[in-house]
Amino acid sequence: MADNERELFEQEMSDVVPLKREPRVISGIAKDDRDRSLEHRRRAAVTDSNLDGNPLSDREIVPLDPWYVLEFKRPGVQSGVFRKLKQGRYDYEARLDMHRMTVAVARRELFDFISECHQLGLRSIMLIHGKGERKPEREKSAILKAYVDIWLRDLEVVQAFHSARPQHGGTGAVYILLRKSEDSKRANRERFNKGRLSGTT
């Protein structure tokens, strides 16, 4: 803009008074409501782990010693069955290796693996979780192992589990016995009834 044009513009605008600007307000949403809404979203993002249908907890837990033996059996599991599981005498029908997985990935993979094995009617499976840090000065460093111990107890289809024999990974792996699926129970009933009927003829 040329100097004479600028002077002309300033002369024309000399008696103009700026309008007063009202402070900005977001209508309909009070500050407290916005704060509560933000807090609710944050809390939901942290605590609602069931949105993906996976009930397994991802809360922070105390790691286990790498050599700690995992063992668990539900009421009703026969002692002889549990002893055979402990001794590795059941051939495992599927295996999941969780080495180098993060807790978040392992949580999802374990849940999907167990669910699929149960749907397929598998009974004896194996999970390799590793022993964690192997340095002598790092006791209680098996983080994934500690989660596996909790997760397997939380899954209703898991009837029993026990750390594996040395040839199968020792305390870095676990044998798992699953409950019979409804399809397996139905097939067993049909075989049983067919045997009874054929025996009466």
pLDDT at 45: 44
- Lateral strand order in the sheet of 95-97: 71-73, 158-163, 173-178, 124-128, 95-97
Q: Which of 155, 70, 72, 144 is nearest to 118 (CA)?
A: 155
Residue 194 included in any domain: no
Q: Which domain holds residue 106?
A: 71-186
Mean pLDDT of 177-193: 72
pTM, rounded to two decimals? 0.66
- CATH code of the domain covering residue 159: 3.30.1370.110
pLDDT > 90? residue 25: no
Query: Could you tell me the two tokens for 23?
Result: 């402070």
Q: Is the alpha carbon torsion for 22, 27, 30, 33 positive or negative?
A: negative
Query: Is pLDDT at 112 greater than 60 in this prediction?
Result: yes
Q: What pLDDT, in 10s, does the model give residues 116-163?
A: 999 999 999 999 999 876 555 455 568 999 999 999 999 999 999 999
- Note whether residue 98 is domain-resident: yes
Which pLDDT score is estimated for 27?
45
Answer yes or no: are the C-beta atoms of 175 and 162 closer than 8 Å: yes
Which pLDDT does position 163 carry in this prediction? 98
The number of folded domains in the chain is 1
Does residue 179 sit in helix, strand or coil?
Answer: coil
Is the per-residue pLDDT at 176 higher than 70? yes
Does residue 26 lie within any of the structural domains? no
What is the phi/psi pair of residue 164, to 5°?
-75, 165
Q: Is 141 inside a domain boundary? A: yes
pLDDT per position as a tens digit, 48-65:
444 568 999 988 899 999
Q: Within a domain: residue 132?
A: yes
Write down the mean pLDDT value for the chain.
Answer: 80
Q: Is residue 126 part of a domain?
A: yes
Identify whether the C-beta of residue 145 lies closer than 8 Å to the C-beta of residue 70.
yes
Decide if pLDDT at 32 tops 70: no
Q: Is residue 19 part of a domain?
A: no
Secondary structure of residue 173 in the 3-state scheme: strand
Q: With respect to residue 2, please indicate whether it lies within any of the assigned structural domains.
A: no
Of 178 and 5, the structure prediction assigns the larger pLDDT to: 178
33 three-state secondary structure: helix
